[in-house]
Amino acid sequence: DTGVSQNPRHKITKRGQNVTFRCDPISEHNRLYWYRQTLGQGPEFLTYFQNEAQLEKSRLLSDRFSAERPKGSFSTLEIQRTEQGDSAMYLCASSFPKGRGTTEAFFGQGTRLTVV
């Protein structure tokens, strides 16, 4: 397995356009997370899935943001009517709960979005 894969790696878009990012998690992982990271800051939680069910959305995730994981495998994150404030690195992570408690998340390299 090659780890968590995110596409595209970079995206430049004009304000007002829609963008969609894709994340392919590690195949046996049933949890998938989306985070947003701005320069010099820690990743901010956006949302997460357990298989195909979206279990939690952060208040950071406005109505312009939507995420799906239709078959419990890959996930997409769409941003509609992009704004300059959406410029950030969007990180995807996956994990597989095992045993007691939780396990670490494995991160992709992220998609860097620049809204001009």
Residue by residue, DSSP assigns 32-70 as EEEEEE-TTS--EEEEEEETTEEEEE-TTS-TTEEEE-T
* Residue 25 found at the interface with another protein (CB under 8 A): no
In the bound complex, what is the minimum distance in angstroms from residue 18's beta carbon to another protein? 25
* Phi/psi of residue 76, nearest 5 degrees: -125, 145
Among 33, 61, 82, 90, binds another protein (CB under 8 A): 33
User: Binding to another protein by residue 67, rule CB under 8 A?
Assistant: no
* Least distance to another protein, CB of residue 28, Å: 16
Cis peptide before 8 (omega within 30 of 0): yes
Least Å distance between CB 38 and another protein?
11
